[in-house]
Amino acid sequence: MASLYEDRKVILGIIGTSVVSWNIFVKLRELLKKYTKTTPEWVPVGRIKSLHLYPIKSCKGKEVFQYRCTPLGPVYGEYFDRHFLVVNSEGKFYTARTKPNMVLVETVIENGIVTVSYPEKGSAQFKIDEVKAKKDLRSGYLHVNLRTDGYDCGDSVAEFFSNVLDEPGTRVIMYDSGLFTERTCKTEEGWWNNPVPKRIDDTAYADLAPYMITTQASLNDLNSKLSQNVSSINFRPCIVVDDCAAWDEDKWLDLRIGDVEMQCFKPCTRCILTTVDPESGTKDKDMQPLKKLREFRLGPGKLREEFGESPIFGVNAGLVKPGYIDVGQTVWAKYKPSAF
């Protein structure tokens, strides 16, 4: 009898273990199915049409064939994206929103010497090493009065911009790593209709994100609705992607270009700067393309509550894996579950 009792215990134990094991197996299978179903795949979505960076915020950009992607934004040789800022005597930044002729100021950087020039206004120079050595610290105040410090670039370039902008007391400051900033970008849930990646990104003097990406197809669709075409430069992108569907960028989650990986975390909302003609430095009298974008590119649902009357064109992105990217490279993306 004792032997039979022991055998029953063993049998029941085996059955119990089998039930537990089966339940674990079922749970694992469900998790595996769920993971497989919701994890997006890399899909080729287009190719890089052009690459841009803007040494001085709101001034003329530079189009290049290749650049290095860093956490703070693109770098091409001695050119760093938006590492210089024009401010008034109190540190408040000047922008082409209110000073549209800034987009005509050209910047050349060679052998550590920065040269700025403007049609019929001459030029000015300063040396980056001298600015860093002097360490004349000033505070710059950008959107919503958030502060990012920089080193003053000297009297010559200050006088140049005072003349160009017709604003006495203008100064130029240069970003350097380790300086104080209040402008660290932390993502917020309200920025998309889908879960927003949790990220923390810094920039020099860019508005929000280290990278802003637009597509040629979306620009073409917008231009088809305008009486006069605008260019990608109206939107001041870092990367323009071609050979994809219009507004495809609304759905991008992660991007891969060669060895570089990025993460899209917020649609780019647009303001009056888009109405500034990059060739003439004047605002469009009919407020285009901003007016047209407001007709069909305002975010729906909670995005309308978040962004108000600011229409969406392009996508903000931060860096996951650094490296070099070139014009013509294939862009791969992982898609969000749904678009706007």
DSSP-assigned states of every residue in 70-111: ETTEEEETTEETT-EEEE-TTSBBP-TTT-GGGGG-EEEEET
In a domain, 135, yes or no: yes
In a domain, 16, yes or no: no
pLDDT score recorded for residue 302: 86
**Beta strand pairing status for 211-215 and 239-242?**
parallel
In a domain, 183, yes or no: yes
In a domain, 241, yes or no: yes
Domain count, the chain: 1
Burial per residue of 219-256, b for 16 or more beta-carbon CB atoms within 10 angstroms, e otherwise: beebeeeeeeebebbbbbbbbbbbebeebbbbbbbbbb
Per-residue model confidence as pLDDT tens for the chain (340 residues): 455 455 555 555 555 555 455 566 556 555 554 554 456 799 999 999 999 999 999 999 999 999 999 999 999 999 999 999 999 999 999 999 999 999 999 999 999 999 999 999 999 999 999 999 999 999 999 999 999 999 999 999 999 999 999 999 999 999 999 999 999 999 999 999 888 999 999 999 999 999 999 999 999 999 999 999 999 999 999 999 999 999 999 999 999 999 999 999 999 999 999 999 999 999 999 999 999 999 999 988 889 989 999 999 999 999 999 999 999 999 999 998 766 6
In a domain, 155, yes or no: yes
In a domain, 28, yes or no: no
In a domain, 18, yes or no: no
pLDDT score recorded for residue 197: 94
Q: What CATH number has the domain bearing residue 230?
A: 2.40.33.20
In a domain, 264, yes or no: yes
Distances in whole angstroms, Cα of residue 258 to Cα of each of 127, 303, 307: 35, 32, 33
Q: Which three-class secondary structure state does DSSP give residue 27? A: helix
Give the C-alpha separation, 133 to 263, whole Å.
36
Task: Break the chain down into helix, strand, coil percent, rounded to 5.
Answer: 30, 35, 35
pLDDT score recorded for residue 194: 81
| Domain that includes residue 240, residue range | 43-335
